[in-house]
């Protein structure tokens, strides 16, 4: 029996993030070559999107577009069909110019999507400040550079604010949302929180559910059962098993969620299928 497009699940891998360091997360990739090789393994395991942060060789996060370009070019060369997503996180820097710098990369390394966190919050290690002015500024930069927002939702208020921006004509389709639950200082993973956030999102939003730390697998399996999509990776969760604290690999996390998806009758989407589901334009990087 063949699967319809509605049966497909988008697996969005977040391999690096800003926080994991090798002394605690030994398999986190750092250099452009390491990130590209890791994304290739994840693509082979079933991932169709890569949510990318940039690190310098000393593991410190960087906003500099030159480093982002090196990473994006390495990934695009290794896996040319992958959906490329860049972060605009404000955890380490707040200026719009720095947060939006990677949006202006062109050519083979041009990002298709970029993260857009729809409010301020506290993480366990400190605040992430996202003022209305910064959010609107990032939306403008994304629209000007033909980059689709990857909406990041950490609580119900962010979903409501997303709908407000749509009603005001500030956010434009397509809408793809990552719902990230379980971080200390934001909404926890519960049925009521998932239902409330989904109810608050704009109509037609394609949504994925992610869990922070020990909640990653539970959030992913809930999304698979509810018809949503998933985000998985070392950015959010360092362990394959929280019972014995066994270190995870990005490809191992993708392989596990792809296996569970198949057991539920949902085949991992290819990048081409994921673009169709989200509403992204086709990409041919051989012509870039």
Q: What is the pTM of this model?
A: 0.95
288 inside domain: no
36 within some domain: yes
Task: Please give the tally of structural domains in the chain.
Answer: 1
Instruction: Domain of residue 249: give its range.
Output: 5-283
Asked, for residue 74, whether it belongs to a domain, the answer is: yes
CATH number for the domain harbouring residue 208 = 3.20.20.70
pLDDT cut 90: percent of the chain above it? 88
Residue 185 in any domain: the answer is yes
Domain membership flag for residue 170: yes
Nearest to 205 by CA among 233, 172, 170: 172
pLDDT confidence tier of residue 284, bands split at 50, 70 and 90? confident
Region 182-194: mean pLDDT is 93
264 lies in a domain?
Answer: yes
Any domain includes 167: yes
| pLDDT at residue 144 tops 70 | yes
The answer on pLDDT for 1 being more than 50 is: no
């Amino acid at each position: 029996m063949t699967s319809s497009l509605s049966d497909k699940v988008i697996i969005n891998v977040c391999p690096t993030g800003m926080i994991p360091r090798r002394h605690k997360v030994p398999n986190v990739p750092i250099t452009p070559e390491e990130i590209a090789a890791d994304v290739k393994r994840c693509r082979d395991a079933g991932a169709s999107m890569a949510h990318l942060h940039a690190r310098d060789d000393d593991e410190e996060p960087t906003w500099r577009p030159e480093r982002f370009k090196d990473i994006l070019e390495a990934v695009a060369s290794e896996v040319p069909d992958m959906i490329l997503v860049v972060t605009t996180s404000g955890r380490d820097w707040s200026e719009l110019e720095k947060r939006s710098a990677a949006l202006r990369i062109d050519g083979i390394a041009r990002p298709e999507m970029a993260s857009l966190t729809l409010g301020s919050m506290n993480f366990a290690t400190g605040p992430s400040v996202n003022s209305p002015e910064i959010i609107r500024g990032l939306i403008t930069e994304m629209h000007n550079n033909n980059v689709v927002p990857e909406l990041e939702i950490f609580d119900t208020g962010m979903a409501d604010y997303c709908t407000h921006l749509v009603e005001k004509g500030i956010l434009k389709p397509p809408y793809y949302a990552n719902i990230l639950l379980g971080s200390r200082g934001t909404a926890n993973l519960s049925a009521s929180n998932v239902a409330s956030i989904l109810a608050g999102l704009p109509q037609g939003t394609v949504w994925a559910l992610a869990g922070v730390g020990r909640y990653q697998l539970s959030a992913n399996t809930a999304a698979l059962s509810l018809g949503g999509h998933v985000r998985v990776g070392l950015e959010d969760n360092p362990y394959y098993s929280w019972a014995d604290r066994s270190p995870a690999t990005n490809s191992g996390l993708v392989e596990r969620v792809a296996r569970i998806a198949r057991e539920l009758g949902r085949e991992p989407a290819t990048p081409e299928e994921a673009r169709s589901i989200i509403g992204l334009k086709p990409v041919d990087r051989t012509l870039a």
